[in-house]
Amino acid sequence: MTRKFNFVLLSLLIFTLLLFPSIVMAGIGSITKGSGARYFRTKGEKRWVAAETGKDINEGDRVKTGKDGRMEIHLQDGSKFSIGNNTEMEITRFLLEKDKRNATVFLAHGKLRAMVAKFLGKTNMKVRTPTAVAGVKGTDFIVLNEGKANVFFGNEGNVEVKGKDKEAVPLIPDTMTENTQGHTPIEPV
């Protein structure tokens, strides 16, 4: 009788986990701080809702802030994103495995400070804007995007910044570069 009960209980547990994977799978990150007007949109949804502290973030989700809004997102790998006012951002892709990290963040417009955690495995992490791409490894940098213009500030580590023409410029700590649509970023100063 006990064996049959354990089998039924185990079968029910497996069925539940297969049917509702979100029970065991937390998001790829969460909103850890915030103030002012903050919004969240689940992948595939059209409606924005209030972005509450503690809200799980998943691949494809978007966040945005109003004119007085700010928020911070922590990811599973220890990376943090500080998002300024009047900003819209999407975590397009995030894959974290034992020896590999692959992530893409799309900054539609606004201000983002990316504090990317150091990682021992292979890393392919990018921050895209409508007109540029920054390839990063364990580093800390800031990107400002408004329309067709970007400004990147290097704080720590190295960042490769590319325009649409795929020619990259290296951004090292205490330097900045900028680009506009269709142009290679200027030499960092």
Query: What is the tens place of the pLDDT at every residue in 126-161?
Result: 999 999 999 886 789 999 999 899 999 999 988 889
How far is it between the farthest Cα atoms of the chain? Answer: 76
Match 């995030």 to its residue by tokens: 94
Q: What is the pLDDT of residue 85?
A: 97
> Is residue 121 pLDDT above 60, yes or no?
yes
DSSP code for 186: P
Match 């680009």 to its residue by tokens: 179
> Is residue 185 pLDDT above 60, yes or no?
yes
Question: In the structure, what pLDDT confidence band is assigned to residue 22 with cuts at 50, 70 and 90?
Answer: very low
Decide: 38 and 69 in contact? Cβ < 8 Å.
yes
Give me the percent of the chain exceeding a pLDDT of 70. 85
Pull the structure tokens for residue 100: 């590999």
Q: What is the pLDDT of residue 14?
A: 59
CA dist 120 and 138 (Å) reads: 9
Q: Measuring CA to CA, how many Å separate 105 from each of 32, 56, 94, 126?
A: 18, 16, 9, 6
Over range 71-98, report the average pLDDT.
95
